[in-house]
Structure 1
Amino acid sequence: MYVDAACYVTKNRYSNGAGVRDAAGRFVKAMTSHFVGQSEVQEAEAHGLLITLQWIQQFQLNRVEIEMDCLNVVQSIAGRMQANRVAHELAQVTRSYVSHYMSLIIVQRIVQTRH
């Protein structure tokens, strides 16, 4: 499963998205959520992870790997670092949804720019 967030500052909105793949990497299902208001990226990422974990509970999966690209949120959940206060608090709430069957995988994204 992968989780991501996007902040649209000029539109006063932020969104979260998640996708589920099976063990072979094939698409299974996806979800998005949209919110009005300004959010720091770390807060939006932590909120997206919490929403995603609540969403996947209904599927009663026995092993879930979650990929996300926000290192601060992953480290905050692991207890190694505090991001900003709100993101840290969201990460702590999220921790209660993470069982020993779930693991977080940090995905490094490569950003390409056009010249």
Structure 2
Amino acid sequence: MSQDNIQDSNVDTNIEITPEMQAFYQRADAIIGIANSQLGSDAHSGQVGASLLYAAARYSASVASIGFIKGDDFAKEKDDIVEFYVKQYRQMLSDNLTDYAQNFDKYVQVNQDEKSAE
């Protein structure tokens, strides 16, 4: 499913979508597209999802390390880094689950349309 659907339904009509927000959603869509392209006889959505979570964790660890000079200093901040990313993920997941539940029929139809096009 494309993030465009989530973005459109989550957006309050009083909120302007800035170019930065649009770029954020476009990057997410590109990553989702790559994940979707991995689906097939060799990998189901659970397997692809696990790989995507691993990739996000690996990339986040790399991003979090920026600015540190010594590994020991970085290691001392591990708990705070984990707390930050878990809080961010929890909020994004919660928001998307709420949106998906509110738009379930539309999203299920979108997913069926995308499968039919393949």
Query: TM-score, structure 2 length as denominator?
Result: 0.32
Larger Rg: 2
More helix by share: 2
Higher RCO (C-alpha under 8 Å, 6+ residues apart): 2
Query: TM-score, structure 1 length as denominator?
Result: 0.32
